[in-house]
Structures are given as structure tokens and as C-alpha cells.
Amino acid sequence: MNALVAELHKEFASQIEETGELLGKPVVRLRRDALVPFCRAAKAQGFDYLACITGVDRPQERSLEAIYNLYSYEHLQHLIVKTRCPYDDPVLDSVSSIWKSALFLERETFDLVGIRFRNHPDLRRILLPEPWQGHPLRKDYPLEREQFVSKDAQGRDVVGFDSTEGW
Amino acid sequence: MTEPYTVEAQSKDLLVLNMGPQHPSTHGVLRLILKIDGEIVREVQPVIGYLHRGMEKLAELGRYPHFIIECNRADYVASYAYEAAYVRAVEELAGLQAPPRAQYIRVICLELDRIQSHLVWLGTFGLDLGVLNAFWYGFRERELILSLQQELTGVRMHPNYFRFGGVKADLPEGWTDKARRACDEIERKLDEYEEFLAQSDTFVMRTRGVGVLTKEMAIDWGVTGPNARASGVDFDLRRDEPYFAYEEFEFTIPVRTEGDCYARFEVRLEEMRQSVQIIRQALARLPHGPILQKGWEKGYQFLMAPTGEHYTRIEGPRGEVGIYLIGDGTTFPYRVKMRSPCFQNLSVLPELMRNTLIADLVAINGSFDLVMGCVDR
Amino acid sequence: MNEIVFSVGGALALIGVVAGGGGILTYVFRKLFADFGQRLGPNRVGPYGILQFVADGIKLVAKEDIIPARVEHWGFRLAPYLTFVPAVLAFSPIPFGDGLIITDVRIGLVLIFALAALAPLGEVVAGWASNNKYAMLGGLRAAAMDVSYEIPLLLSAIAVMLLAGTASTREIVERQRELWYFVPQILGLFVFIVAMIGKVGVLPFDLPEAESELVAGYVTEYSGMRFAFFFLTLFANVFFIAALTVTLYFGGWLGPFGLDLPPMLSFIWFFVKAGVLVFVVFWLWNSLPRVRIDQFLNINWKLLFPLSLANLILTATLVALGVVK
């Protein structure tokens, strides 16, 4: 563990649930209310690049996990931040005010996994049409139910379970 | 749930123009909803997902090796990049190590692929600007590389060639000589392209100072690859986080600070030259030996990665190709997240396109080298 | 009676020449384009694919006539003819050879420019009537370009008129017997060619159509025979550039170094010179990127306009001082 991460550890000691390492990359598991303050401090420490947000469905724990891959171009240093939200309240705070790259990544995570990001300026589905049912990367997503995309007369997307629906 | 987006002008003075998904210069199925004031673009709203194939879900439904075939369909212009990233992620998670000869072959494949992908970009960028012939020239040289790849892997575009712990097949007889000749040919043609485009005043007029992406913006929006390097981000995973055998080669990373379309053109052109250098070195020093890790010649079908997770990234032709892989001790991956460079590069486009002319919008879009398969996955 | 026969015959000949010539030019263009791009080009229909343009013509005529539902019907139907008819008529005062001229009037050059100035009208009408945003942008671009290239174009043509002392195209050619006008008018020639390419709208100035930006500009909604009219007009106009430039600057049907052919064969020189110029236009078309609309307007207003004005004043001074006749 290097000095950068150690400092963050000290500052957020009470908010960190778990620390570890993934093949040489330091990992921090946070309580979910600490996400934005921690990320802001991390950005101030030099983690200027948010590479990736991965949403994971964890049915055993009945929760959704979000994994943030941070990187510092200045110090050439990785940091992986993890946090969770329960099924019945799948809400996390948006980090799009800290890194602009989160704007699309959070929309994608919302679309496919179903985590809502509070304070995201434009949280809509991005890859799937707006009225799509369910979030495909959930483990309980029903794959055998086909959905058909069509348009209504106003040009809006329509999604139904019947291939003859729509305009 | 937020309100669905409807195509209605917010202001009476602006005209809403729907560009794509069927449009000659949106490179596939990108759809841009523009609000224009005469010729000036005031707002851009990208709509994507027309090519979404649910790859991350498909990955969870197949065994580990099945996804090699699928993931190279993601970026269909540079198929090797995703394949390499995925194979590397699984190898590192499962603790496999490919023998040196396989590593070298992988480097050769990846660099050939980079040149090939940049040539496609060069052609289509020329087409966007109206230089029709750049398209034919770019695709002519690409053909050299595709036939090399065909001889090596059996197919031209979706190779399915990398294996956990090595590669599928050894180089065919005489392949290295052909590759060397192709390298010479391409290097000669690259000078021609430079003469043809960079010395044309009209080309410079259309690209200089157009779509300037600053270094801060590039980092903030997660732009990577040649686009970021054209903005002064001096970072390349091949040099800064070497994988496979990249640490054994000598090459330079072209960096420009202007951040405009012309800088992106220069960076890509120079990158192709550097790739030729890498291929030459790799061909000259190609080690002998096995091409698959011992003991894995047959058994990789039921590879069982341990419980754990891992983020791997490699330098694709369009930027950082990342795989976040979570294994749960079975023969199926629990979750594969594909970090797409095009997806992130696309996110900054509305910022760059605001208050430009329609013609500039086309130039910016072309210079960013988006592949919609890579964006939508 | 004789006059009527002559007029009708002339008109038919004109249409035949323009349609046939335009068709052959499409074949030449495609072959040249293929050579520039190291491809083969048309090579299936007839020897060396030379009948390809006939096949294309038959295909276009046989195609279903599609008029989209919500277009402005009158404008949509009228626009192809609004562009095609002036483009054909503009050929009538051009002397193809010694005595080979259909409308020999004293104001031939004025007539040519009056007819040529009608062409953007059809483009604007097509753009508006198509009820398509891309088409409308294309039409607006055509209008914006029209006001900017016309002035340098006319100013450089006026310089030629001053030099020749006449507006009759036949006499302009006759006056070049001693010296082709491209020598004293080299500046004017440059302005004229650039503005003319802008007028016809081929690369690098094909902004009203700009396929990578506006899909196909004002012809987006057209198909079949109506599209063919626009297409034919484009190639007729490419030949028109060459024909007019040869007439004004390269001595029309006159041969170089006094090598004149007999009147009945003098058109050969005309077509040889025009062919070279057509090749130059195709060459530019195939190798230059498209300029932006603001850059085009800048070139016209800030470069070509002052240049042509300077050229005009210079020519006027020289003529007044009697340096050139």
C-alpha cells in the first residue's frame, strides 16, 4: 500500500468497511454514504481518471454492488473503490460531479444493472430503449421473455412482449 | 423514472435535425439529435444502443472460452484488442502464463491489428472530409494485413485466435517473410498518405483548430488512446503498464498537445509507423518453443477460474480496452464488464460539437474513430 | 419556315448533345475515378463498359416514380426542369466551331450568364419542396453560395468583354486569333475557374450536396428520372465550365500556333481543349477535401472578389491606355 492510499485510509477510517488488494491494486470497500466525500478526497489526492464503473448483482447478499476503477496519471497508481446498496433501496450517490466520465458510465450501470444514481443530471437508459422492462444484468432477469421494440405514431420507442404490438 | 426524451424543439428558433442512425458519416448506427441554428450546431444529443447485443449477459451464459468468440465482435474493426484483454484477464485470474513465443505472436497480431484499424479510420475520415480516394487507399493496404491474418487464423476479421495460456496455432511456413514485406509496403505507403493529406492545404484548413479537446477535458471525460495522446496525455499502456512482451521492444509514443482533428490525424499516422517498428523487432527476435502453456493443450474448455475478481486493461487502437472479470469458482464467469474506449470517447463529443458548424461536427466525429459495435457492445 | 426548322433542329441537337455528352461524361468520370482510386470501374456493359451509361439511363427511366407523401407537389415536380432547362439553354450561345453556333447574338455572353444564374433557383426550390431538413439545408447553401460566386465570376468575364470589345461569343473567339486571352487574363482565368467550380458544385465545393454532411443535399428525396435530371445537369455543367473557359480564355475553336482546321472540322480543337479542362475538373474532384461553407464564402468574398476587381481595373486601364487591343 502506498502513501496516497494510506492517507485516504486515515481520513476515512470510520467509513471503510474493508480493505484489500486485487493482484496488486489496492481495494477499498466503503459505506455507501461515504462514497462522494471519499471520491472527492481521492480526486484531490491525484486520482484524476475514473476508468470504469462495474455494476454487479449479488443475490446472496440481496444487494447491488458498484465497483469504481480509479487511476492517477500523475502517480501511475490504481485504486478500486467498492460500495453496495440493498435491493429494496438501490440508490447510490452520483460521482458525475467529480469525474465527467461517470455521466455515461452511471447511465450504463443504471440501464443494465438497475442502480439509481442520485443527483445524476440525466439518468436515462442509454443502451436499451426507455420503456424496456427489467435490467438485463440482474441474475434473475427472465431471458425467455422476449421483448419487442417498435415505435408509436409520435416516434417514441414502444416495448412490448408481443411482436405485433406498436405502430 | 425520468421522462422519455421526445424529439421536440425547446426553442422555436432552433431546428431539430435527426442525424442517423442511417447517415453516411455516423460510422454505423450512431444517432445524433442536433439542434441547429442555421448551419451552427447548438446542442447535440447522442442516442446509442442500436447495436447493443447484450454481450456482458452473453458472457455470463457461456463457459470461459466461449466469450473469446463473442468479445471480438464488440469492436469489429479491431477484433484482437478485446480478445487480448479478455484472455489476459482470465490468465491473470487463473494464474496462467503464456510461453514467450505465444507472447511475441500476440504482440505481432495486436500491432498488425492496430495498423489495420487505423487504416480503416484514415479511409473513413478522408471520406468524411470528402477525400474519396483516401478510402480506397486505406482499404487497399488493409487488405495486405487482412490476408496475413487470414493465413494465420483462418479468417479475416473475427479471429478467435488467442487462447488462455497461448495462441491457437503456430505461424505458417513463410509467414514471417510475408509479414516483413507487408511492413515495408505499408511504411512506404504511409509516407504517401502524409503527402496526400497533410500537405494538402484544404485538408489542413478543415482539421486545424477544429474540435479542440484540452488535456484536462480528456482526462476528466475518460478519453483514452490516440485521442487523449493528441491532447497531450502522455500515457500508453504498452509503455506504462507493459503486458505480453511489450517491455522488450523499443518504440516511441507520439504525443501532440494541440488536441484538434489534425493532431489526432498526426498521432494515428505516427502510431502506425511505430507499430511497423514493433512488428519488425518482434519478427526478428521471435523465440522458438511451444505456443501454449504446458498441460493446457486440450483442457482449456473447462477452465475453472478461482473465486476472485480482477481489472485488466490493454491499449487498443481506440484507447483503453478494459475487462473487469469476476469469477466464482465455476466454469462460467460470474460477471464480465467490458470497459469500452469508444463509449467513453463518445461521451465527450457533445461538448466538442457544441457551437460548431455541421461540417465540423462531421470532421470531429470522424477524427474520434468511433466504432459503434464497441460503443454498444 | 427555314428559321423554324433551324430552331427546332438546333434545340433537338442541343438536348441530344447535352444528354449524350452528359452520359458519356459520367462514364469518363467513373473510369477516371476508378483509376485514381486504383480500381477497375465499369467494365461489364459493352466493350470496356462503355455502354454503362446507357444501362444506367434505362434503369433510371424504368424506376418507380416516387414522390414522398408530404412534399410540396408543384415545386417538387418543377425543380428538376428548373435546373435542367437553363443548363441546356446556356449551351446555345457557345460556338463549338467556326459557324457551329446555335444562337449567335451580340449579347451572347450576357445571355449565358443570365441563363446560368437561373440554376440555383431549381436547387433552392428542390430543397424547399422536398420537405426534408437536409434538403432544405442544401438548398440554403446553394442560395448562399450563389450570391458569393456570381460576382467574381461576372467581374472576370467583364474583363474579357472589355478586352474583346464585344459580348458576342463568336467575336470573342475571333479576337483571340493573335493571342489567347489566358495570357493577359491569367488572374481572371484563376478566379473564373474557381468560381465556376463553385457554381457547378463539384468537390471541393460540392456543399449543396455534401454527401457526408447532408446525405445528398437538395436531391435527397429524389429518385428515378427526376434524380437523373439533376445528375445529368451536374455533368452537363462540368462540360459547360470547360466549354465556356475554352471560349473565353483558350481561343475556342482556334488551333494553337495558327494550326486552324477547316470550319467544318474546327470543333475538334474545341473539344480537345474542353476535354483537357474536364479532366482537370475531375482531377480536382478526386483529390481535394470539401471546404466548409464559411471557408467557401471567405474565399469568394475576401480572395476572389478583390482579385477579380483588381483584374478588371487593370484590364480597363490597359485597354484605355491602348496597351492591349
**Beta bridge partners of residue A19, listed in sequence order:** A28
Read off the pLDDT band of A19 (50, 70, 90): confident
Nearest to A124 among B2, B92, B347 (CB): B2
pLDDT for residue C93 is more than 50: yes
Measured CA to CA, the distance from residue C95 to residue C109 in angstroms comes to 11
pLDDT for B3: 40
Peptide linkage before B21 cis (omega within 30 of 0): yes
Output the nine-digit C-alpha cell for B196: 496526400
Residue C311 neighbours by CB under 8 Å, 6+ apart: C155, C156, C159, C185, C187, C188, C191
Q: Could you read off the pLDDT of C117-151 as tens digits, one per residue?
A: 888 888 888 888 888 888 888 888 888 888 888 88
Report pLDDT for C1: 66
Hey, of B36, B202, B355, B356, which one would you mutate to test binding to chain C, going by the most C CBs within 10 A of its CB?
B202
> Which H/E stretch holds residue C293?
helix C293-298
Q: Which range, of A152-166, B358-372, C165-179, averages the lowest pLDDT?
A: A152-166
Is A128 within 8 Å of B48 when comparing Cβ atoms? no
Whether B208 contacts B347, CB under 8 Å: no
Read off the pTM: 0.86
* Residues C196-223, mean pLDDT to the nearest whole number: 81
Strands of the sheet with B31-37, listed across from one edge: B15-19, B31-37, B40-47, B356-357
For residue B21, the model assigns a pLDDT of 82
Residues of B with CB under 8 A from a CB of C: 15, 17-18, 23-25, 38-39, 126-133, 135-137, 140, 196, 200, 202-203, 205-206, 357-360, 362
Q: Find the mean pLDDT for residues A9-34.
A: 79
In a domain, B146, yes or no: yes
Instruction: List the CATH number of the domain containing B161.
Output: 1.10.645.10
Tell whether B304 is covered by a domain.
yes
- Domains of chain A by start residue, with CATH: 3-127 (3.30.460.80), 128-167 (no CATH)
- pLDDT given at position C164: 84
CB pairs under 8 A between A and B: 100
pLDDT at C34 over 50: yes
Cell numbers representing residue C259 in the block = 494550326
Q: Are B103 and B245 in contact (CB under 8 A)?
A: yes
CB B231 within 8 A of CB B216: no
Percentage of residues in chain C with pLDDT exceeding 90? 1
Q: For residue C49, give the DSSP letter.
A: G
Domain that holds residue B69: 49-340+359-376
State how many domains chain B has. Answer: 1
- Name B327's bridge partners: B308, B333
Residues 6+ apart with CB under 8 A from C255: C261, C266, C269
Three cell numbers written together for C217: 443535399
Contacts of C217 (CB under 8 A, 6+ apart): C127, C134, C135, C137, C138, C139, C141, C142, C207, C208, C209, C210, C211
**What's the average model confidence in pLDDT over C91-99?**
81
- Return the number of other C-beta atoms located less than 10 Å from residue C161's C-beta: 17
Q: What is the pLDDT of residue B6?
A: 41
Q: Could you tell me if residue B83 is left (phi over 0), alpha (psi between -120 and 50 degrees) or otherwise beta?
A: alpha
User: What integer is the mean pLDDT of C314-318?
Assistant: 87
Local mean pLDDT, 10-residue blocks, chain B (377 residues): 41 76 80 84 86 87 85 86 89 84 90 91 87 84 89 87 84 88 89 83 85 88 89 88 86 88 90 90 87 71 77 89 87 88 89 86 88 86
Residue A166's pLDDT is 55
Out of B7, B49, B344, the one facing A128 most closely (by C-beta) is B49
Please tell me which residue of chain C has the smallest CA distance to B139: C37
- On chain B, the residues whose CB falls within 8 A of the CB of C141 are 39
Evaluate the omega torsion of the peptide bond into residue C204 and state whether it is cis, within 30 degrees of 0: yes
Q: Is B279 among the domain residues? A: yes
In this prediction, residue C163 carries a pLDDT of: 84
Nearest residue in A to B52, CA atom: A127
Mean pLDDT of chain C: 83
pLDDT (average), residues C39-44: 83
Measured between beta carbons, the chain B residues lying within 8 angstroms of A51 are: 222, 311, 313, 320, 322, 339
Q: Which residue has the higher pLDDT, B113 or C21?
A: B113
Minimum CA–CA partner of B342 in chain A: A104
Q: How buried is A1 (Cβ within 10 angstroms: 0-12 exposed, 13-18 middle, 19+ buried)? A: exposed
How many CB atoms lie under 10 A from the CB of residue B239?
A: 15
Query: How far is Cα C176 from Cα C179, in angstroms, rounded to an integer?
Result: 5
pLDDT digits over A67-102, tens only? 998 888 888 888 888 898 888 888 888 888 888 888
User: Using the 8-state DSSP alphabet, how is residue B96 labeled?
Assistant: -
What letter would DSSP give residue C218? G
Question: Any idea what DSSP says for residue B127?
Answer: H
